[in-house]
Amino acid sequence: MDYELLFSISNTIAIIGWLSLVLHYVFPLQGFLSLMFNQYWIPLLLSAGYAIILMLTGFGVLPSAEGSFDSLANVRSLFEADTLLLMGWAHYLAFDLFVGMVIAQQAKSSNIPIWYMLPIWFFTFMFGPTGYLIWRVARPLIAKKETGEQCESAQ
């Protein structure tokens, strides 16, 4: 199996997801494209790729590695196998994009301007939980500044 190709495909899918997130925020999609975005199809596609590799590894079709989750050294051993490294990467891509899409929906419902959102999405894309933390801290402040009211996450 060509893991580099699968890695590139996963990255391309994630970039398309993030670009569609920003475009959908500025120019709301209609019909099928809106359904695709609102039902998180792109993170689902990445999740499906992850699940397929997981099953093929579990059934011994793809190579695995020795290791476990009980110590940092054992986790490092797991990621020495390209199969499991690719799975880990797909996991990051899927979850970070999913979180970014949830943030976008919350921001849109609060009418938060895109200029506030771009750095938050950048941190979510690059650093996952840090972007989510920034969002949770910034959302009430931005909503209050923009509307003069507190949003529901501040209550």
- The stretches in the chain having pLDDT less than 70 are 146-155
> How many domains would you assign to the chain?
1
> Within 13 Å of residue 94, how many CA atoms lie on the same side as its CB?
17
Q: 71 φ, ψ to 5°?
A: -155, 160
Largest CA distance in the chain: 58
Residue 118: domain span: 3-154
Q: Strand locations in 6-153, DSSP E?
A: none
pLDDT at 12: 96
pTM of the prediction? 0.86
CA of 62: how far to CAs of 1, 24, 87, 111, 128, in Å? 8, 37, 12, 46, 28
- For position 150, what pLDDT does the model report? 57
* Residue 82 near residue 3, CB atoms below 8 Å: yes
Under a CB-based contact definition with an 8 Å cutoff, are residues 62 and 83 in contact? yes
Nearest of 25, 74, 82 to residue 56 by alpha carbon: 82
